Amino acid sequence: MAIATAAPPIDVVRTADGTPLKARLRQTERVRNTAAFGLILPLLAFTLVFFFFPIFSMLVQSFENKEIPANFPRAIVALKSWGGQGLPGEDAYAALAYDLKHGYDNKTVPRAAVRLNYEIAQFRSMVLASARKAANLQTGPYKEAMIGIDARWGEREYWAVLKRNSSTVTDHYFLNALDLERNVDQEIVKKAEDRRIYISVLFRTFWISLFVTILCLLLGYPVAYLLATQPARISNLLMIFVLLPFWTSLLVRTVAWVVLLQQQGLLNDLMIALGLIKERVLLVFNRPGLLIAMTHVLLPFMILPIYSVMKGIDPQYMRAAKSLGASPALAFATIYIPLTFPGIGAGVLLVFILAIGYYITPELVGGGGDQMISHFIAIYTSELVNWGQGSALAVILLAAVLALYAIYARFFKLSQI
């Protein structure tokens, strides 16, 4: 009968100082990972501070509603018991008078008045005038006194605005960005026809961006193919012409198109000399001029991704297809073009995302009906100082881009690019 014996212990491999080799390898790997993280830490900090934090701040401002709760605290508390039908009671009017007097003394009413004006036009002037007159009120009844100061305090609509802004969070900016609003009964309804602007502007932005992307693809694909198939001495020279626009300021390029496309510009002179037109046409400050200028600026962003993919395609694939009986056109359509899909996807996505955020070119070359959503974001943030509305428009634009990216990645395998 055989007797089972225990396997001899396996000697642990150790380093010269007696440390197990596996432990030393793990320690070395930790040191290497720490050093690698230290190298990317400045870039990570830069990205967090200058990319993610502004986006987070923009998202917060699109919901923020500090001015009204801070300046009408007593009125908001009094309105909690108001059901929204008829007019609120004497206590609400007394609280409103106190808040207006207190805000007038502390000079904080103007900020709340500007915020209320976003809801109803002329609300600002109404609040400021009421605050000046309410400062002289000593005793009630306050309901009659406030209505006597301004008859609009006897209308339910203005009190409904105060009640729905009792929270520090609001959906007003997003509803306004979608051409919606809340009525006096707090129901979400469409705005009047003459006040709907943002949905049409969003559609215009996406339509112009899509059209420019298609133009860039139609013009850029042949150029990329030419660059990828020519000898190095020719393709390098052509690549210089492709990259040449990057060496010129975007503003300079846009202004140059204004000069070229105007009625007395070079393009009109050329078309008349060739007999293509008899009368000069205006090609600037309208949609054709905008499409031409944006396509010129964004064309390199389409050419370069497609070119980089084409350079990696083995020419033997086409030779093999031709040797099996495929015509050059059939081989190109069934073999070569599908191999360039990753470059096409990257170029289309890059050009489209850049196009929807364009501001300078539409501002200088486009007409009044060609302004894109970036124009309105700039107006709200720099001229009207309505950061909430500008942030809401920017967030909607960002969400639309992310949704399109997700759809594109799902159906076109963009994650493989």
Q: Is position 189 within any domain?
A: no
Verify that 233 and 326 share a domain, yes or no: yes
Q: How many domains does the chain have?
A: 2
Paired residues of 169 in beta bridges: 64
pLDDT band at 279 (very low <50, low <70, confident <90, very high): confident
**Domain containing residue 333: CATH number:** 1.10.3720.10
pLDDT tens for each residue of 397-412: 899 888 888 877 777 6
User: Cα–Cα distance between 338 and 413 in angstroms, integer?
Assistant: 13
With a cut of 90, say whether residue 380 has pLDDT above it.
yes
With a cut of 70, say whether residue 417 has pLDDT above it.
no
Verify that 144 and 204 share a domain, yes or no: no
pLDDT tens for each residue of 43-101: 999 989 988 998 899 999 999 999 999 999 999 999 998 988 889 999 999 999 999 99
| Cα→Cα distances 5→1, 2, 323, Å | 13, 9, 68
Contact partners, residue 21, CB within 8 Å, separation at least 6: 12, 13, 14, 15
Verify that 279 and 332 share a domain, yes or no: yes
Q: What is the per-residue pLDDT for 4?
A: 52
| Residue range(s) defining the domain that contains residue 262 | 198-385
Query: Comparing C-alpha atoms, which of 68, 63, 65 is closest to residue 79?
Result: 68
Verify that 258 and 375 share a domain, yes or no: yes
Q: Is position 179 within any domain?
A: no
Q: What is the per-residue pLDDT for 9?
A: 54
Q: What is the per-residue pLDDT for 415?
A: 44
Average pLDDT (102-106) is: 88
Average pLDDT (136-144) is: 84
Contact partners, residue 153, CB within 8 Å, separation at least 6: 93, 96, 130, 146, 147, 159
| pTM score of the predicted model | 0.83
With a cut of 90, say whether residue 246 has pLDDT above it.
no
Verify that 205 and 288 share a domain, yes or no: yes
SS3 190: strand
Q: In one letter, which amino acid is 139?
A: T
